[in-house]
Amino acid sequence: MIHISMYLRFDVIVYIICDTYHIEMGYACMVKVSDEIIIRGKKIKNRIVMPPMVCFSFKGDNGGMYGEQYVDHYTKRAKGGTGLIIVQATPVAGAAEQLGVWSDEQMKPLEKIAQNCHSYGSTVMMQLSCGDVDINELSQEQIHKMQSDCIAAAARAIQAGFDGVEYHFVHGYTLCRFLDPTFNQRNDCYGGALENRMRFLMEIMEQIRDAVGEEAIVSVRMGGNIPDVAGAIDVVKAFEELGIDLLHVSFGMKEPVGDVPAEFKCSTIVFNGSEIKKHVTIPVIAVSEIFTAEQANFLIENDYVDFAAVGRGIYADENWANKVLAKEPIRQCRNCGGSIRKCLWFTDHTKCPAKKIS
């Protein structure tokens, strides 16, 4: 027998299914990493997410496009039990024969990635990126073109079989710059007050929904510090009102510094995600330096967030999710150099020490 608790927010229904044991024991419905969750009618089979990560040293097919190496990479992580796979930052526009999602030629391997992930029971989304552009220099015509590229790219991703899209509003890149009041110096309707800094998404949200249909998940990856947690909370509340289905909290223009409470067993970025969750009813993904089963269980069982995204950990061990759920030892990511920036997947993934011993 199952118990279903339901959050209702406008048109989004999220069911969390808890086993009867916890209810009979008199606990509030404690969610576990192995529990499924349903967003926009799509079942995500557990709370483990592979966050978007560009595979810098992969070889694409036909020049720079996605190809067999990518298909194999994502298929292995689906086979490895990952609940939700978010395919790496994929440009919404660019030159011919580049990796992206704007032309028919680019679609075949993307369709295969979606199909293969589904065949192993993973839900799969695509991160959509507007690159690395100084938004203070953009004309309004250029912004409008970028907006229509974002809508078209979402439609293509869904046509290719993806369950949803995640807009890349993080890590100091283009869309993140709109949101951050310290970077955004525009003095037109895209700069200044929060409403203006959010205008990029606000203006296209309805068209995105029309383009992708009612069943696609529309997510935003954003910073938990824009420029601080209080600023980010204002943004997430507004994003929720716009109809975003899922929030993925990383960092904004800069990685946050600061202590977390002694009992909190994760990074400052994850802590910011847990603070943000208190202010929204849509599900929240936390990310950054979640390497162990203990950390993932801590976050989900204590309801700090709804999903634990494990980046380098799932690079290092494609079976991370299955092993954690089966309580088996994982092949540990070494956190090379003690910083994400030192990860060898930025330069040559074949040198990843965790992979070498397998």
Ligand X SMILES: Cc1cc2nc3c(=O)[nH]c(=O)nc-3n(C[C@H](O)[C@H](O)[C@H](O)COP(=O)(O)O)c2cc1C
| Active site (catalytic) residues | 173
* Site map 265..304 versus ligand SF4, x via CB under 6 A: ----------------------------------------
Q: Least distance from C-beta 358 to ligand SF4, angstroms?
A: 11
Task: Name the residues that contact ligand X, by CB under 6 A.
Answer: 51-54, 88-89, 127, 168, 170-171, 221, 250, 287-290, 310-313, 340, 343, 345-346
- The item of ligand X, ligand SF4, none sharing an interface with residue 334, based on CB under 5 to 8 Å by kind, is ligand SF4
* Cβ density class 24-49: b for 16+ within 10 Å, e for less: eeeeeebbebbbebebbebebbbbbb
Q: Which residue is nearest to ligand X (CB)?
A: 311
Choose between 307 and 315: whose C-beta lies nearer to ligand SF4.
315
Strand partners, 164: 125, 217
DSSP 8-state symbol, 59:
P
| Pick from 123, 146, 127, 148: nearest CA to 51 | 127
Q: What are phi and psi of 176, to 5 degrees?
A: -60, -35
Between CA 172 and CA 180, with CA 174 as vertex, the angle to 5 degrees is: 55
- The item of ligand X, ligand SF4, none sharing an interface with residue 289, based on CB under 5 to 8 Å by kind, is ligand X
Give the chain's end-to-end CA distance (angstroms, integer). 41
Choose between 88 and 116: whose C-beta lies nearer to ligand X.
88
**Single-letter code of the amino acid located at 64:** G
Token pair 């420029």: residue:
227
- The item of ligand SF4, ligand X, none sharing an interface with residue 190, based on CB under 5 to 8 Å by kind, is none
Choose between 18 and 71: whose C-beta lies nearer to ligand X.
71
What is the CB-side half-sphere exposure of residue 299 using CA atoms within 13 A? 34
- The item of ligand SF4, ligand X, none sharing an interface with residue 89, based on CB under 5 to 8 Å by kind, is ligand X
Total number of residues that touch ligand SF4 (CB under 6 A): 13
With CB under 6 A as the contact rule, which of the stretches 86-94, 99-107, 124-132, 311-319 interacts with ligand SF4? 311-319
Q: Least distance from C-beta 209 to ligand SF4, angstroms?
A: 36
Q: Least distance from C-beta 142 to ligand SF4, angstroms?
A: 36
Choose between 91 and 231: whose C-beta lies nearer to ligand X.
91
Q: Least distance from C-beta 312 to ligand SF4, angstroms?
A: 4
- The item of ligand SF4, ligand X, none sharing an interface with residue 49, based on CB under 5 to 8 Å by kind, is none
CB 63 within 8 A of CB 98: yes
Q: Least distance from C-beta 328 to ligand SF4, angstroms?
A: 19
Token pair 């009612």: residue:
214
Q: DSSP for 97-139?
A: TSSSSSSGGGHHHHHHHHHHHHHTT-EEEEEEE--S--GGG--
Q: Least distance from C-beta 326 to ligand SF4, angstroms?
A: 21
Upstream peptide bond of 227 is cis (omega within 30 degrees of 0): yes
Binding to ligand SF4 (CB under 6 A) within 172-231 occurs at none
| Pick from 87, 84, 86, 85: nearest CA to 36 | 84
What is the chain's length?
358
CB 299 within 8 A of CB 306: no
Among 107, 315, 320, 330, binds ligand SF4 (CB under 6 A): 315
- The item of ligand X, ligand SF4, none sharing an interface with residue 344, based on CB under 5 to 8 Å by kind, is ligand SF4
Among 176, 312, 324, 325, binds ligand SF4 (CB under 6 A): 312
Cα 345 from Cα 316, distance rounded (Å): 10
Choose between 63 and 337: whose C-beta lies nearer to ligand SF4.
337
| Pick from 310, 306, 350: nearest CA to 330 | 310
* Cβ density class 127-140: b for 16+ within 10 Å, e for less: bbbbeeeebeebee
- The item of ligand X, ligand SF4, none sharing an interface with residue 336, based on CB under 5 to 8 Å by kind, is ligand SF4
Q: Which residues bind ligand SF4 (CB under 6 A)?
A: 312, 315-316, 333-336, 343-345, 352-354
